[in-house]
Every structure is written in C-alpha cells, then in structure tokens.
Amino acid sequence: MYKRIFGVLVIVSGLLFSSLGCIATDDTVTLAQFNPVKAIADKLAAKEAIWDSYGAEITALKARPTTATFDSTALTNKDTDLQNQINALKDKNVTTSLQAQIDVLTTKVNNLTPSSIPGGTPTSDTGTVVYTNNPVAIPQIFSSSSGGNSNPWIMTIKNNSTTWQYVKPVIQLNVASGQPSSIITDVTVMISGGSCSMTGTLLVAGNFSFSPVTATTIATPSMIIMPISGCNGSGEIQVGPGQQQAFNVQIQNLKTPTAILWNVTTSISSRSM
C-alpha cells in the first residue's frame, strides 16, 4: 500500500516542482508548497485503508459456492404433517357443515305450510288431509278505492285418513312484488259448497276473522282470513274418511285508498274428531 502511495507522491511532486520551477528561483521546497501534496497523500491513504478493510469480505464472497443448496427433507416432513392436520380438520368441518345443513333443511321441512308451497298439492300439518285449487295458481286481485273482485276458484279438500276431519280453509292476501303496503278499508269473502256456506266482511261481523285487526288504520303487506263460525258452528268443514268436498271461493270488494296488486294463496287447518 505504501509503495503505491509513494509512487503517487513522486508523480504529484514532480508535477508541482515542474510548475513551481517557473516561479521559484532555487530548488528549495517550502512547507507551504508541500502541504497540498501532503493533503492529497493523506486522502489517498484513507481511501486505501477503506479498500483494504473490505478484503476479508471479498475473499469470503469469492469462496462461496456459485449455487446454493439446502436439505429439503425437514421441510417436506413439516409440509406433510401440516397437510395431514388440514385434512383431518377438513373432514371434521365437512361433517359438521353437512350436519348443520341437514338440520336447516329438516327445520325448513318441518315448518312448511301449504301457503309456502307454490302450486302442486299442499298438505296439512297432519299429513292426512290434502287440498287442491282449480286453477292451481289463483289469479291476482287489483284492489282500488271502489273495490276489486277475484275470479271464483274451487278448493277441493280430501281426507286421506281413517277418521273424520274438521277442516278450515285459510286465505292469505300478500302485496305483489314491488307493491307498497296499504290500508285495507274493506273486503268480503265467500265460501260455499254442499250444505255449508260462510260469508264475512272486514267491517261487519260474519263467519271470518281478519288479521291484522288494525288493517283499516295501519298499512299492511298481508292479511290472513280464516273461518271462525258457520258450517258445523266453528267454521270447520267436516270431511269423512276417504271422502272429499269441493267449495267455491271468492274474494269481493277488496278496497284500498290506491290501486294495489295482491297475490292470493291458500292453506288449510285440520283436526281429527
């Protein structure tokens, strides 16, 4: 290192002396003339020292292999163990998830009501009494301030049990999709068949109950209409074992302040004698 520094000093000194030769009149070098050369030499020495300090690192880098290798066995074993744990948890979660879905479906099946089944042949909770509507899809009703009427339809109730059944037809009005809730100011329901006939209105006491009872003052999205009197005295239709009865049903004078479109669905409530 010092040899390189000395060489540089000689060169620099030569240059300085050659330039100073034009100024000085003798060969004597003053301290003021030498200081710039010394400053340059000090800087070069500092740089050289920094360079030498990296020698060990450079040697280590040169000795390092050009390609890195590692033992993947431990990593593979850990990955296998983790995958086994994931599979075990997955099997457990799948079983739990399936059981949860089964429970949800079971609850839904148990809570099915005739009015929740679109079309087809709805059944009562007992599973022994069934009914059909003709037409199956009851036409919608437009209510208005002057009253709206439905086309009549036929409800046929069949008793598949071995005992007599008391059956109540139930009618539900629901505002159609996109329609607002509304006050219902009046509605008339008529059911007749054989020797049994029932009639009721929202404003006058009759054979039916109308829920909610606040529908005349508070807007509602639906109304449930159920017999409470008539026929055998409590609004129930008696159907013998293996027998069926057909009834004509109609909704009239459905009044609301503005025109509203309503869907009509039906269900039944039955009990054995």
Determine the Cα–Cα distance for residues 206 and 70; give it in Å rounded to an integer.
Answer: 91
Residue 47 is assigned to a structural domain of this protein: yes
Residue 6 is assigned to a structural domain of this protein: yes
The pLDDT of residue 113 is 46
First to last CA, the chain: 119
Regarding whether 178 and 47 lie in a shared domain, the answer is no
Regarding whether 264 and 175 lie in a shared domain, the answer is yes
Regarding whether 186 and 53 lie in a shared domain, the answer is no
pTM of the model: 0.54
Residue 99 is assigned to a structural domain of this protein: no
Tokens of 268: 């039944």
Regarding whether 123 and 51 lie in a shared domain, the answer is no
Q: Give me the percent of the chain exceeding a pLDDT of 70.
A: 64
Regarding whether 139 and 17 lie in a shared domain, the answer is no
DSSP for the chain?
-HHHHHHHHHHHHHHHHHHHTTT-SSSPPPHHHHHHHHHHHHHHHHHHHHHHHTHHHHHHHHHS-SS-----HHHHHHHHHHHHHHHHHHHHHHHHHHHHHHHHHHHHHHT--GGGS-SS--B-TTSSEEEEEESSSPPPEEEBTT-B-PPPEEEEEEE-SSS-EEEEEEEEEEEPTTPPPB---EEEEEEEETTEEEEEESSS--SEEEESTTTTTS-BSEEEEEE-SSTTTTSPEEE-TT-EEEEEEEEEEEE-SS-EEEEEEEEEEEEE-
Tens-digit pLDDT profile for residues 94-124: 556 656 666 665 555 455 444 444 444 444 3
Whether the pLDDT of residue 125 is over 90: the answer is no
Residue 197 is assigned to a structural domain of this protein: yes
What total of structural domains would you count in the chain? Answer: 2
The pLDDT of residue 233 is 82
Last residue of a domain, one of 63, 80, 105: 63
Regarding whether 162 and 44 lie in a shared domain, the answer is no
Average pLDDT of the chain, as a whole number:
77
Residue 211 is assigned to a structural domain of this protein: yes
Residue 108 is assigned to a structural domain of this protein: no
The pLDDT of residue 30 is 67
Domain containing residue 162: 114-272
Q: How confident is the model at residue 126 (pLDDT cuts 50, 70, 90)?
A: very low
185-204 mean pLDDT: 91
Regarding whether 217 and 142 lie in a shared domain, the answer is yes
Last residue of a domain, one of 63, 80, 101: 63
Residue 224 is assigned to a structural domain of this protein: yes
Q: How confident is the model at residue 81 (pLDDT cuts 50, 70, 90)?
A: confident
Regarding whether 136 and 11 lie in a shared domain, the answer is no
Regarding whether 263 and 174 lie in a shared domain, the answer is yes
Residue 168 is assigned to a structural domain of this protein: yes
Regarding whether 119 and 38 lie in a shared domain, the answer is no
The pLDDT of residue 24 is 44
Regarding whether 253 and 131 lie in a shared domain, the answer is yes
Regarding whether 143 and 41 lie in a shared domain, the answer is no
